[in-house]
Every structure is written in structure tokens, then in C-alpha cells.
Amino acid sequence: GQGREGTTCSRGPEVGFEPGRCDGANEYSHTLPRGPASHGVLGFHSNLLPSNHPSEDRRSGATCLPGGGLLLGVFDGHAGPACAHAVSQRLFYYIAVATLPLRTLAELEQAVQEERAVPPLLEWHKHPQDHNVRSGDVIAVFCSVCFCFLLSDWLQDGGSISSALVDAFSRLDDDLSLEAQAHLRGSLPGRSLTCPLQVALSGCTACVVHVSQGVLHVANLGDSRAVLGVQEAGGGWSALSLTADHNAQNPAELRRVAGEHPAAERRTAVRHGRLLGLLLPFRAFGDVRFKWSSEALAHLCETRPDVLAAVGGVRAPQNYLTPPYLSARPEVTCHRIRAADKFLVLATDGLWELMHRQTVVQLVGQHLTQHSAGVTLGGLQRLLLERKGRALAALEDQNAATHLLRHAVGDDGYGGVEPRRLAKMLSLPADVARMYRDDITITVIQLNELHA
């Protein structure tokens, strides 16, 4: 019932966990049924190529029940995969609760209070190798901690999708911190999630899209990106960014960080392009050593050296004067889907470090157009002549995310893929791959029919 497609073997080096294997690896495609329930989405393609072992990236996709709407997201972890793993499993539940109608919220609250079974909130769309979520445990944890707060905030905010996304992100980050503190005190309930301190001490960025009734809401936290592929009247392609990076390259972010701390800290809050000279993204889940008080961090160092050793240690950064320095409040963009909007690319920064957004949109647009139009024998012969043999590489992948990965890793400098370079890059040992690229996670969401 998950709509699993597009996992057939493709020629050439496979893009996945184990280079050389031809088994679909992390490739996943899902087609949505036509009609109002699709909310303007035809389907999506996704793939993940790790460089860290294990990968610190995660991805999620789900349909909200019963409120409706599609949720898709990519999550880029750092200092280990724990935070990205937890957020990829839990965030969509927070969003689902925050976007429910008030009557349904009241029914859900009553079910929790009476300890009755909670009705399904999400229909997950996952590759079989993706980490599965134990929905009962997740709901039990977050409902007991924050359900009443979510309900009261929802009533106050008036029910907009934008405010619901902001609230869900912020509430989840608060809960990750609270659970870590409770674990530190030894007071966390027995049904809690695993290693809450590891979750809170590591971190992750997130880029999530909520699609409902033909409207995109993109909530971004960090430096993953959402880029819209727009097909122009003449058939060409243009890229429209729906997110802004939250780092030192963004002047607005620099002003925000400076404005949240005393003037005396303007030279120390951001040093060498990093938050307190250490962290590249200015917004992220977890990373409590940029959020907790100095006293709390000192207590952590004294009481749990075992956990600290497992995550590489922690100490209060230099010039740590007026925390928090790191925000988990996402920036939300709203966009109504137009006829010319053909697809949306969600990807972690590993892709954008290798490819410009216009190149990404051009490759996806051409790939989807070729597959939607079909290729006859004569047409294939013409393409082979025109592109001097590169058309076969362009057509071998059914999955648009896999197609992007091949070009990102095996780029020949002329818009094609050089097979030897691709094979070499995919065969790098685990301890060497990270020197050449980051983990890359891509989800391509098709919004409208394309025309050739």
C-alpha cells in the first residue's frame, strides 16, 4: 500500500549504500492517484547517497490523516545521525497535530487523556531500507509532553499552515531539549525514545514542504534548499528558490544573530563564518551546547561523561555569554502552484555544493520531459546523434533523483556523465569519500504535466 515503484536495476554504477550493487539501493518513487486527494502533486522521486558511514542524512514522506495534505522533507545531520533520525521520525506527527481541525484535535486530546488508541495520523511513504518509525511510541512520548501546549498554541494562532509549521518545529526542538534534561536527571519515562542526550547534543537542519489544495508551504531550517522548476513558454527552464540559507552567506541572518545579542558580542557571535566560530548553520534542531545555559552545560559535563564521550565531548564554546545562539524557528514560504510550475527539488546541501540550482532544474526538467513524452526508436537515434552518445546516460534512470545524483557525482564538465569518474567517485572508501563530498539526499516532487 506504499506505492513502491522505480526500484528496478539500472545500468552502470548504482547510486546507493554499496557502490557496484544493482538492486535499487535507496531509490524510491511514489505516484499519487489523480484527483483532489493529490493536492496538485503527481508523485515524487527520492534517493540518498551517503558519504558518512552511517549516513547522517534522513528523508521522510507522508500523507496527513485525516486533515489531508502531503508532507515531504530532507534532514541533514551533523555530529552524528541521532538528531536527524529522531526529527525525521517525529516532526511530521507534530505538523499533523498542528494542522488538524479543532474538532479532531479535541477528539484526539480526549483519546490521549482516556488512554484509548490514537487514530492514525499519517500514511508513511518510505523506502524499505529507510528507518521505520514506531508510531505508537512516538505518539505516546510527544502527546504526553506537549499536546496541551500544541492545542493552546493552535487556538491562539488561528490555524494558519505557516504558524502551524513554525510551532511544530519549535515545539519539537523544545521537547528534544526537555527529554535530554529529564534523561540527565534520571526522570525520563520508561517508554522514552533511545539516547535523548545523543539526540540533543547532535544536530540537524531540515527542509520540509507541506502541499495542500494546490498550495506549497516550505519550512526551512539551515542550509538545505527547495528550488522550483518552472517551464517557460518556449520550453526552457528557470529556477525559483523558495528558501534562503541560514548561514554567514546570508546578510539577513547575520543581522538577525547580531540583533539577538548585545552589541559587545558582534565580533564574537559569528567568527570565521561560523556561529561562535564553530557551527556553520545558524538555525538547526538539537545542538544544545549552543542553546543551554553555561550552568546546564557544566552540569552535563560533570554528571554524564559517558554520554559525552559517545558524541565526541561537549563544552561551552568560547565567548558563550548570552545563550541561546542557535534558533530552531524555521523560515516559511508560501507559494500557490501555477501551471508553469512543474516540479520542486528538495535537497540537502551536499547537492548544492556540487551543482548550481539552474543546472539542477535544467537536468530534472529535461529528464522528466523525455520520460513523459516517450522516446521512439527514431527519436532515440536522433538524440544519440545530437548529444554524441550522452543521451543514453540521460535516459537510463527512471528516477529523477538518481539522475541528479549521477550528474552531480560523475559530471564530465560538458553536461554529461563520465562513466569512469562516476565509478571512481562511487567506489571511494568510507574514510575517503567525505573528503570529496557530503551526504546527498534528494526528493523531486512533480507538480504538473510537462510538455515536450
CATH code of the domain occupying 28-246+328-446: 3.60.40.10
CA distance 308 to 422: 38
Stretch 406-421: mean pLDDT, rounded?
88
Stretch 216-224: mean pLDDT, rounded?
97
Stretch 288-316: mean pLDDT, rounded?
75
Task: Give the residue among 354, 335, 350 at the shortest CA–CA distance from 223.
Answer: 350
Higher pLDDT, 327 or 388: 327
Do the beta carbons of residue 444 and residue 400 sit within 8 Å? yes
What is the band of 395 on the pLDDT scale with cuts at 50, 70, 90? very low
Task: Give the residue among 198, 182, 225 at the shortest CA–CA distance from 73.
Answer: 225
CA distance 135 to 233: 45
C-alpha cell at 94: 507534530
Higher pLDDT, 351 or 14: 351
At 379 the pLDDT is: 46
Distances in whole angstroms, Cα of residue 290 to Cα of each of 73, 90, 275, 304, 317 = 24, 22, 9, 18, 8
Stretch 445-450: mean pLDDT, rounded?
90
Do the beta carbons of residue 268 and residue 258 sit within 8 Å? no
C-alpha cell at 340: 508553469
Lowest mean pLDDT among 4-18, 42-56, 420-434: 4-18
CA distance 183 to 174: 14
Structure confidence by residue, pLDDT tens digits, 148-171: 555 555 545 556 899 989 999 999
Percent of residues, the chain, with pLDDT higher than 70:
77
Burial 78-88 (b: 16+ CB within 10 A, else e): bbbbbbbbbbb
- What are the boundaries of each domain within the chain? 28-246+328-446, 252-280+288-310
Asked if pLDDT for residue 24 goes beyond 70, the answer is: no
CA distance 76 to 16: 17
Higher pLDDT, 447 or 21: 447
Please list the helix, strand and coil fractions of the chain in percent, rounded to the nearest 5, in that order.
40, 20, 40
What is the band of 134 on the pLDDT scale with cuts at 50, 70, 90? low
154: CB partners within 8 A, 6+ apart: 98, 102, 105, 164, 167
Judged on CB neighbours under 10 Å (0-12, 13-18, 19+), 310 is middle
At 192 the pLDDT is: 44
What is the band of 187 on the pLDDT scale with cuts at 50, 70, 90? low
At 324 the pLDDT is: 96
At 145 the pLDDT is: 44
At 177 the pLDDT is: 94
The DSSP H or E segment spanning 215 is strand 215-221
Strand-pairing partners, residue 392, are none
Stretch 206-234: mean pLDDT, rounded?
96
At 159 the pLDDT is: 64
At 450 the pLDDT is: 79
At 408 the pLDDT is: 93
363: CB partners within 8 A, 6+ apart: 403, 404, 407
Higher pLDDT, 375 or 242: 242
What is the band of 301 on the pLDDT scale with cuts at 50, 70, 90? confident
Stretch 142-147: mean pLDDT, rounded?
48
Higher pLDDT, 17 or 217: 217
Stretch 21-42: mean pLDDT, rounded?
74
What is the band of 127 on the pLDDT scale with cuts at 50, 70, 90? confident
Asked if pLDDT for residue 280 goes beyond 50, the answer is: yes
What is the band of 217 on the pLDDT scale with cuts at 50, 70, 90? very high
Stretch 122-151: mean pLDDT, rounded?
61
Asked if pLDDT for residue 229 goes beyond 60, the answer is: yes
CA distance 448 to 214: 10
Asked if pLDDT for residue 13 goes beyond 50, the answer is: no
SS3 for 134-185, per residue?
Answer: CHHHHHHHHHHHHHHHHHHHHHHHCCCHHHHHHHHHHHHHHHHHHHHHHHHH
Asked if pLDDT for residue 76 goes beyond 60, the answer is: yes
Stretch 323-343: mean pLDDT, rounded?
97
Higher pLDDT, 131 or 83: 83
At 37 the pLDDT is: 65
Structure confidence by residue, pLDDT tens digits, 39-57: 789 999 999 999 988 899 9
Do the beta carbons of residue 16 and residue 26 sit within 8 Å? yes
Task: Give the residue among 34, 43, 55, 85 at the shortest CA–CA distance from 286.
Answer: 85
Percent of residues, the chain, with pLDDT higher than 90:
50
Torsion of CA 23, 397, 207, 267, to 10 degrees: 100
Distances in whole angstroms, Cα of residue 75 to Cα of each of 23, 174, 379 = 24, 18, 39
At 121 the pLDDT is: 85
195: CB partners within 8 A, 6+ apart: 82, 307
The pLDDT mean for the chain works out to: 81
